[in-house]
A and B are shown apart, each in its own frame.
Chain A
Amino acid sequence: MISFFLLAGLWTMVWLLHLNGLPDYRRQNPCHLPPDGRMQRHVRRVLPATGLAGACLLDGLDGLFLWAFTAPVTGIALGMALPFARAVRETRAAGCSPTTRTGRNRQNLQKHPEAPKYLP
Chain B
Amino acid sequence: MSPRLRTALRLFHRWIGFPAGLFLFALCFTGSLSCFSPEIQGWMQPRTALHSPLPAMTRTGLLKAGQELKKQLDTGTFAFLKLPSPRDPVFRLWHYDGHIFLGPALAPDTGLPLTDHDVTGGTFFVTLHASLHLPSPWGQLLTAIVGIGLLVTLLTGLWLQLRRFLPDLLLFRPRAASQRRWLDLHLLCGTLSLPVLFIIGLSGVVLQSQKLIHMMNPPHHPSGHASRHQARTTMPLSLSPAIIDGLTENGLRQWGTVADGFFMQTGREIGLYGPDTLHFCLQRQALTPSHPTLPPRATCPTVHGFFVGLHNLRWAGLVTRWLYCLSGLVGCLIIGSGIVLFLQSERNGLAQSERNGLAHAGTVSPCRSGLQHLYRALATATLLGLPLATLALFWSTRLPAPASLSTILWEEALFFGLWGVSLFHGLITRQAARHQLGLMAVMGLGLTGLDLLTRPFHTGRPFLFGSVDGLAACLGLTSLLYLRRHQSGETA
Spell out A's residues near B (CB within 8 Å): 1, 3-4, 15, 18-19, 22-23, 26, 28, 59, 61-62, 65-66, 68-73, 75-76, 78-80, 82-84, 87, 101-102, 105-106, 108-109, 118-120
B320 near A66: Cβ-Cβ < 8 Å: yes
Residues of B within 8 A of A18 (CB): 166, 169-170
What 19 new A-B contacts, CB under 8 Å, besides A73-B330, A75-B188, A118-B163? A3-B319, A18-B166, A19-B170, A23-B167, A61-B315, A68-B196, A69-B320, A69-B327, A73-B327, A76-B192, A79-B170, A80-B172, A83-B173, A83-B174, A83-B175, A87-B175, A106-B176, A109-B171, A120-B3
Residues of B within 8 A of A (CB-CB), count: 34
- What distance in Å separates the Cβ of A77 from its nearest Cβ neighbour in chain B? 10
Spell out B's residues near A (CB within 8 Å): 2-3, 6, 163-164, 166-167, 169-176, 180, 188-189, 192-193, 195-196, 280, 313, 315-317, 319-320, 323-324, 326-327, 330
A-B pairs with beta carbons under 8 A, tally:
96
A76 near B175: Cβ-Cβ < 8 Å: no
Instruction: Indicate the member of B170, B317, B326 with the most A CB atoms within 10 Å.
Output: B170
5 A-B contacts (beta carbon < 8 Å) = A72-B193, A73-B326, A105-B176, A108-B176, A108-B180
A48 to B173, CA, bound (A): 27
Instruction: Indicate the member of B3, B172, B330 with the most A CB atoms within 10 Å.
Output: B172
Residues of A within 8 A of B313 (CB): 65
Residues of B within 8 A of A69 (CB): 196, 320, 323-324, 326-327
A75 near B330: Cβ-Cβ < 8 Å: no
- Closest A-chain residue to B310, C-beta based? A65
Return the contact of A106 from the options B167, B175, B193, B317 (Cβ within 8 A): B175
A83 to B164, CA, bound (A): 19
Residues of B within 8 A of A119 (CB): 3, 6
Residues of B within 8 A of A79 (CB): 169-172, 188, 192
A65 near B189: Cβ-Cβ < 8 Å: no
- What distance in Å separates the Cβ of B157 from its nearest Cβ neighbour in chain A? 15
- Closest B-chain residue to A78, C-beta based? B170
B196 near A66: Cβ-Cβ < 8 Å: no
A72 near B280: Cβ-Cβ < 8 Å: no
- What distance in Å separates the Cβ of A116 from its nearest Cβ neighbour in chain B? 8
Once A70-B323, A72-B196 are accepted as A-B contacts, the answer to whether A59 and B171 lie under 8 Å apart by CB is no
- Closest B-chain residue to A65, C-beta based? B320
B175 near A72: Cβ-Cβ < 8 Å: no
Residues of B within 8 A of A75 (CB): 169-170, 188, 192
Residues of B within 8 A of A28 (CB): 170
Residues of B within 8 A of A106 (CB): 173, 175-176
Once A69-B326, A105-B176, A118-B164 are accepted as A-B contacts, the answer to whether A76 and B320 lie under 8 Å apart by CB is no
- Closest A-chain residue to B189, C-beta based? A76
- What distance in Å separates the Cβ of B249 from its nearest Cβ neighbour in chain A? 28
Instruction: Indicate the member of A70, A72, A105 with the most B CB atoms within 10 Å.
Output: A72
- Closest B-chain residue to A59, C-beta based? B317
Residues of A within 8 A of B180 (CB): 108
Residues of A within 8 A of B326 (CB): 69, 73
- What distance in Å separates the Cβ of B219 from its nearest Cβ neighbour in chain A? 30
A101 to B180, CA, bound (A): 15
Residues of B within 8 A of A105 (CB): 173-176
Instruction: Indicate the member of B176, B195, B313 with the most A CB atoms within 10 Å.
Output: B176
Once A72-B330, A76-B192 are accepted as A-B contacts, the answer to whether A62 and B174 lie under 8 Å apart by CB is no
Residues of A within 8 A of B189 (CB): 72, 76
Residues of B within 8 A of A108 (CB): 176, 180
A26 to B164, CA, bound (A): 13
Residues of B within 8 A of A65 (CB): 313, 316, 320, 323-324
A87 to B180, CA, bound (A): 17
Residues of A within 8 A of B193 (CB): 72, 76
A105 to B164, CA, bound (A): 19
A66 to B316, CA, bound (A): 9
Residues of B within 8 A of A109 (CB): 171
- What distance in Å separates the Cβ of A4 from its nearest Cβ neighbour in chain B? 5
Residues of A within 8 A of B171 (CB): 26, 79, 109
A19 to B166, CA, bound (A): 10
- What distance in Å separates the Cβ of A19 from its nearest Cβ neighbour in chain B? 6
Residues of A within 8 A of B167 (CB): 22-23, 26
Residues of A within 8 A of B317 (CB): 59, 62, 66
